[in-house]
Chains A and B, each alone.
Chain A
Amino acid sequence: DVKVTQSSRYLVKRTGEKVFLECVQDMDHENMFWYRQDPGLGLRLIYFSYDVKMKEKGDIPEGYSVSREKKERFSLILESASTNQTSMYLCASMSQNTEAFFGQGTRLTVV
């Protein structure tokens, strides 16, 4: 079974903190994604990566950065957390033109 693991289920951070969300997949997938999900807005793509050290902006990259130093790991970084970044963050991985597999999500609250 494909497994995508996110480092935390719940996080509470203070405004201005630097926040790291980690994601690891064990199926050697080329493509990895970070989404955020908010009520009424669905899943919105923040960043994605199709290879090690490669990254592409999604629809809402502002305030975020990513790192992919190894194929299995894709990190999302909030450079200076703000309250409008309170959300559910979902990591996903997929191979070419197949379905995506999701991690269990990280519910981040910024206070």
Chain B
Amino acid sequence: RKEVEQDPGPFNVPEGATVAFNCTYSNSASQSFFWYRQDCRKEPKLLMSVYSSGNEDGRFTAQLNRASQYISLLIRDSKLSDSATYLCVVNPGFQKLVFGTGTRLLVSP
């Protein structure tokens, strides 16, 4: 089993739609969690950290479920500019990060 698993997509949605991505992780001792965004041929950039209590940043909401070992990202009112690959990232401890393979989102007019 992979340490971090994501549905690769692509998710094709129209502008204005709500879309959700899930990610599962295998190490129950994992300490911190993140969502990164990666545009084509660019480096990954932090979208948001994920906290146990859940957190929201504008149209983006991230949730963590430790019991079921998954994290989620919800995007409301999708924009064309949201088209990108979204990477689920887990810190299992040991001072390193483990990346999922990414979920590709395509938002169309």
Contact = CB atoms under 8 A, between A and B. Distances in A.
Contacts of B49: 99
Contact of A99 (B34, B43, B96): B34
Contacts, number: 48
Contacts of A58: 96
Interface residues of B, number: 21
A90 B31 CA distance: 23
Contact of A31 (B8, B44, B46, B96): B96
A101 B45 CA distance: 7
A90 B43 contact: yes
B100 A42 contact: yes
A43 B87 contact: yes
Interface of B: 8, 31-32, 34, 42-46, 49, 87, 89, 91, 95-102
